Amino acid sequence: MHDLKDLGAWLQSNEPAHEMLTPSTLPDPCFTLDGREHVSFSTNNYLALANSPRLIARARQALEHYGVGNCESRLLGGNLALYETLEARLAAVKGKESALIFATGYLTNLGVLTALVRTGQLARAFGYRTRTRWTHEYFSDEFNHVSIREGIRVSGATSLSYRHRDMNDLERKLKASNASIRIIATDGVFSQHGDIVPLPEMLELAERHDAFIYIDDAHGTGVLGPTGCGTTEYFGVSSPRIIHMGTLSKAYGCIGGFVATDEHITRILRLGCPAFGFTSTLPPDQAAAVIEAIDIVREEPERRMRLWENQRHFVDRMPAASFDLTATETPIVPLVIGDEGECARLAAGLRAVGIHVDAIMFPAVPVGQSRLRFIMNAHHTVEHIDRVVETLQGLVSFA
Ligand SMILES: Cc1ncc(COP(=O)(O)O)c(C=O)c1O
């Protein structure tokens, strides 16, 4: 009891590094904080859909029809045709036979990564007899999102971490594996690094070593690819070996997560994944709003075009202002600072002039690799971008 109080007091006195903002409006990307207008370079609301009038109208209709929550597991009476429509739409986005939705993206990774390695147990529980004794092994990029790492840890399966995007290291580890089911888990777009998984090379390895790929496309879905379907569309690859995971809380502007895969895997998860069957799902108004978001992503490509124009303007301006960028392929563009104190100082300096950029530090990245993580948005203006670059230049030269 006492130890916890001490820890609480210590955290309070060290809070500035992990301070939580309390704005009075949400970023589109402009928002109000302490009565002042700010612009966010840290929102996942990439296409500014979270407050789109179309999404609001669609959600309002569903709210009035269904109420605010379903209060029931889908297996036990909480199912709606609306959820099934959304799953069919998500499956189509990913070019898969079917999909399953979950209350959040984090829960999706936790639940699915745990369930995928318990299929043998499930089969036996349902009376399915097989002579094969399945063994499972995960192969995980060292910089995968925390929810993937936690899902693998909670699954209890053996797992190996390979060096970030290093296909030689991955191959060495696949070669040495005796597991009967091998699953490579990876971010599509790495959330703290902004780079993209080398998916075609990874798929080649998966084929050579008979492995599945579980791709968390939280930051690719709605953003990458000619029609915004994500990382697989960006590379033009598809394969029955790929299990797609995504969130509804970023480009789609809502809440929830999903997997899209072949029907037989969906069927196993529907019964064998407690994070699907033993909890409630997203409220109906959110499901309706996501369906609208999927339509908008297809019907309004100009939103994605503006996002990419802004991204290009930023990645052109930063080196011209003598800032070295480590990744420039996606709307997530980190500026690695290294020292935690300096990173916090720069973030605070930007905030003082109404610009919000997240200072990403341990445990999201290793100690000494802190960074300002810029996330570009379809509704940024050239003036917003020029202002953040010039302010940053001023802050660095003032150090
Ligand atoms: C790569 C990745 N996966 C999963 C998640 C979790 O998604 P959600 O916020 O929808 O729970 C995030 C969120 O930050 C993410 O960046």
Domains of the chain: 21-46+301-398 (3.90.1150.10), 53-298 (3.40.640.10)
% of residues, the chain, pLDDT over 70: 98
At residue 16, the pLDDT reads 53
Q: With H, G, I as helix, E, B as strand and everything else as coil, classify residue 119.
A: helix
313 backbone dihedrals φ, ψ, rounded to 5°: -60, -45
Q: Is 311 near ligand 1, meaning CB less than 6 Å away?
A: no
At residue 342, the pLDDT reads 94
Instruction: Identify which of 90, 107, 216, 247 to mutate to test ligand 1's pocket (most ligand atoms within 8 A of the CB).
Output: 247
Tell me which residue has its CA closest to atom 15 in ligand 1: 218
- Whether 145 sits among the annotated catalytic residues: the reply is no
Other Cβ atoms less than 10 A from the Cβ of 240: the count is: 11
- What span, in angstroms and rounded, lies between the C-alpha atoms of 251 and 219? 7
Task: Provide DSSP, 120-154.
Answer: HHHHHHTT---S----EEEEEETT--HHHHHHHHH
Each residue's pLDDT tens digit, 228-256:
999 999 999 999 999 999 999 999 999 99
Q: Supply the DSSP symbol for 280.
A: B
Cα(314) to ligand 1 centroid in Å equals: 24
Each residue's pLDDT tens digit, 22-46:
999 999 999 999 999 999 999 999 9
At residue 399, the pLDDT reads 65
At residue 17, the pLDDT reads 54
Q: Is 187 near ligand 1, meaning CB less than 6 Å away?
A: yes
Q: Supply the DSSP symbol for 242.
A: E
Instruction: Identify which of 140, 148, 249 to mutate to test ligand 1's pocket (most ligand atoms within 8 A of the CB).
Output: 249
Q: Is 145 near ligand 1, meaning CB less than 6 Å away?
A: yes
Give the model's confidence band at 192: pLDDT under 50 very low, under 70 low, under 90 confident, else very high: very high
At residue 119, the pLDDT reads 81
Identify the helix (H) or strand (E) that includes residue 98.
strand 98-102
Tell me which residue has its CA closest to atom 8 in ligand 1: 105
Q: With H, G, I as helix, E, B as strand and everything else as coil, classify residue 261.
A: strand
Atom of ligand 1 nearest to the CA of 187: 1
Give the model's confidence band at 11: pLDDT under 50 very low, under 70 low, under 90 confident, else very high: confident
Instruction: Identify which of 46, 145, 254, 281 to mutate to test ligand 1's pocket (most ligand atoms within 8 A of the CB).
Output: 145
Give the model's confidence band at 157: pLDDT under 50 very low, under 70 low, under 90 confident, else very high: very high
Q: With H, G, I as helix, E, B as strand and everything else as coil, classify residue 66.
A: helix
Instruction: Identify which of 102, 143, 186, 191 to mutate to test ligand 1's pocket (most ligand atoms within 8 A of the CB).
Output: 191
Q: Which residue has the tokens 């999404």?
A: 55
Cα(337) to ligand 1 centroid in Å equals: 23
At residue 127, the pLDDT reads 80
Q: Is 331 near ligand 1, meaning CB less than 6 Å away?
A: no
Position 155 pLDDT exceeds 80 = yes
Each residue's pLDDT tens digit, 362-399:
888 889 999 999 999 999 999 999 999 999 999 988 76
Q: Is 191 near ligand 1, meaning CB less than 6 Å away?
A: yes
Among 96, 136, 173, 250, the one annotated catalytic? 250
At residue 15, the pLDDT reads 60
Strand 242-247 vs strand 211-216: parallel, antiparallel, or unpaired? parallel
Q: What is the pTM of this model?
A: 0.95
Cα 343 to chain centroid distance, Å, stands at 23
Each residue's pLDDT tens digit, 253-271:
999 999 999 999 999 999 9
Among 219, 313, 380, 384, the one annotated catalytic? 219
Q: Is 257 near ligand 1, meaning CB less than 6 Å away?
A: yes
- What span, in angstroms and rounded, lies between the C-alpha atoms of 243 and 216? 9
Burial call 2-35: b when 16+ CB within 10 Å, e when fewer: eeeeeeeeeeeeeeeeeeeeeeeeebbbbbebee
Mean pLDDT (whole number) for 288-294: 98
Average pLDDT, the chain: 94
Contact 120, 111 (CB under 8 A): no
> What Å distances lie between residue 170 and 148, 156, 187, CA to CA?
17, 20, 15
At residue 259, the pLDDT reads 98
Sheet holding 355-356, edge to edge: 30-33, 36-40, 355-356
At residue 120, the pLDDT reads 77
At residue 230, the pLDDT reads 98
What is the number of helices (H) and of strands (E) in the chain? Answer: 15, 13
- Whether 38 sits among the annotated catalytic residues: the reply is no
Each residue's pLDDT tens digit, 52-79:
999 999 999 999 999 999 899 999 999 9
Question: Which has the closest alpha carbon to 218: 257, 265, 274, 254?
Answer: 257
Atom of ligand 1 nearest to the CA of 147: 4
Atom of ligand 1 nearest to the CA of 44: 14
Contact 279, 107 (CB under 8 A): yes
At residue 18, the pLDDT reads 62
Cα(250) to ligand 1 centroid in Å equals: 8
- Whether 250 sits among the annotated catalytic residues: the reply is yes
At residue 74, the pLDDT reads 95
Among 147, 191, 249, 370, the one annotated catalytic? 191
Position 163 pLDDT exceeds 80 = yes
Position 110 pLDDT exceeds 90 = yes
Cα(214) to ligand 1 centroid in Å equals: 14
Tell me which residue has its CA closest to atom 16 in ligand 1: 191
At residue 362, the pLDDT reads 87
Cis peptide before 319 (omega within 30 of 0): no
Sequence-distant (6+) residues with CB within 8 A of 152 are: 113, 138, 140, 159, 185
- What span, in angstroms and rounded, lies between the C-alpha atoms of 371 and 322? 16
Cα 348 to chain centroid distance, Å, stands at 26
At residue 10, the pLDDT reads 78
Each residue's pLDDT tens digit, 343-352:
999 999 999 9
At residue 7, the pLDDT reads 80
- What span, in angstroms and rounded, lies between the C-alpha atoms of 399 and 396? 5
Cα(393) to ligand 1 centroid in Å equals: 31
Cα(148) to ligand 1 centroid in Å equals: 9
